Amino acid sequence: MRNGIRVIKMQIETHDDSGIVGFVPVMWGTWTNYLPSSGQGFGHDIIEHGACGKQTGAFDEELAAHGAVLFTTEFLATENAHPIYTPAQSLASGMASSQYQESTVNYIREPPKHRGISWDERRQLKEFAVEYVGAMMLEYAREVNDRCYCDEGECDCERINPFEGKDAFRRIFGWLLYGYSRAKRTYKGDCCGAYNLKKEIDRESKKAMGHFSEYADSGAIFTMRLDLNTEEVTIKPPRDIYGEW
């Protein structure tokens, strides 16, 4: 964010398969796995995924986004606690299944380099990662190895758990570090400001969709302005259906 300001151009689109209608940032137009979004969750896409990578949905990009979540929520201190699961278990939920569905190779890419993390932050991230990876190991054993996905019915197959071992932990921990460091740099160390922006994006995008759903699939361009300094989010509608200002 330059001087704490970020401007994002968006369109309202309808997803062909699901029928979901929502905003799609123009800069993400080539993301084949991005679903249109508004309201709850859109702020996560913009704030955490937007700080970390160039797409959503890929397993390692989700790992990086979870690292960013740990920064914006101060290790989930500002999020509502789940009545049953720990923060690490909540974030890990569904990750093992998505990793299996994404690739039969079950390969976790080497994480990019990171910088700007203090020793205390690294310690907290590592403590989180131990429980986070452990939860994914258990989920994989329960959801994948306990079920047969072969085309020919029942079999005795058992897949190697991709979350076991030191190398798997190193890579997952590296992606968390990368996401955390990217978010920390992007939002100038202001975790509270980033978190409040995320919530404002959820609120403002939901409100905008209520007023401007008629522009779905029209190509009209909306402009969303994020101000980290004031923690304000504004969404300007297009002046005409072609989005020309």
pTM of the model as a whole: 0.86
**3-class secondary-structure state, position 157:** coil
pLDDT in tens, 159-200: 678 888 999 999 999 999 999 999 999 999 999 999 999 999
The CA distance from 191 to 65, in Å, is: 14
The CA distance from 185 to 230, in Å, is: 18
Label residue 242 by pLDDT band (50, 70, 90): very low
Model pLDDT, residue 214 = 86
Of 2-11, 29-38, 192-201, the range with the lowest mean pLDDT is 29-38
**In this model, does residue 15 exceed pLDDT 90?**
no
Q: Are 113 and 174 in contact (CB under 8 A)?
A: no
Backbone CA torsion sign across 173, 140, 145, 103: negative
Model pLDDT, residue 184 = 96
Q: Are 121 and 67 in contact (CB under 8 A)?
A: no
- Percentage of residues in the chain with pLDDT exceeding 90? 49
pLDDT in tens, 91-137: 998 888 777 665 544 578 899 999 999 999 999 999 999 999 999 99
